[in-house]
Structure 1
């Protein structure tokens, strides 16, 4: 199956370069279009329905985080490619639903690898940034009520397996549960809605603070 990739950056030269990088991986990957502002990005995501969207956080003065939050319930997996060194902005992007963050200065092979991993359902964060984000999410969860109180026993089992295999692709987690990958995605969407989490990393942080009973 071809991984369909959209590129969102306010510099046309950047989108041009990434489109050509992704095109070198055809037919395994394929660029489906580029956008340079929020309005154009919304049209692109609505019309093209990409599997993965490479997105900069600074879109000509607007925030790419707004776009990530807007499409958090869609199947699109956002991978942040940024030149910003603001760790708070990077953390906020993951809280909003981004599946990974890496620098625009990364080697092309690493960017391709990150697209592959994010498409497979994994998170793409370095160890230090993962630790910082989990600590931040744990602090936020301290004043929250039990986020797992409304889950069914089966949903709690799904959460437990997802946490045990944190970072693994959805396919592997579904195999451990004996269900299909689409069934797992639907179940996780319900779990996210009930717990207030946006992704598996946030579920992990909530479970550290509120162990399931």
Structure 2
């Protein structure tokens, strides 16, 4: 599956942090690098980020209001417990970042890559994801309740006790992922690819007795 990469210029200047803090109206932040910044608070008005490279940024449980990230990249950032409710992520990459307990309910993801991240307890319920790749990322106890998947890949991810209730897993390949148990809707499981061991686990969860 082809994921479009963020369209970020090779040469970027450091952004002025005050542009994000002292805002009295909708703000559009474009073309720059934000690095080694500990975000304590942000204004409640809408912020749009375009062609921004975040490096080693700690968002410290920030709450966004309908934030948009277009052509952005996160590297070694801490987004734990951030509230991105109803956010838009388009051509965005997350690398070696921490997203424990992040709230992304009712959000839209398009051409998004999440690689080598930790997103345990993350909430993605009611979100729409199209052309999204999750790679070597931990989603233990994450919530994907009633998500809409269109060309979504999970490659070598941890999914223990993740919740996929009311989410169609048709054309989703979980065979390279690891988990002891996940929650799914049986009527939404048709067309999902799993390993032999995983298939036995699903059978047992249905109450079937398996002879070996």
Same fold per superposition (TM over 0.5): no
Report 1 or 2 for greater relative contact order, CA contacts < 8 Å, sequence distance ≥ 6. 1
Instruction: Return the structure number with greater strand share.
Output: 2
Instruction: Return the structure number with greater helix share.
Output: 1
TM-score scaled by length of structure 1: 0.31
Of the two, which has the highest radius of gyration? 2
TM-score scaled by length of structure 2: 0.31
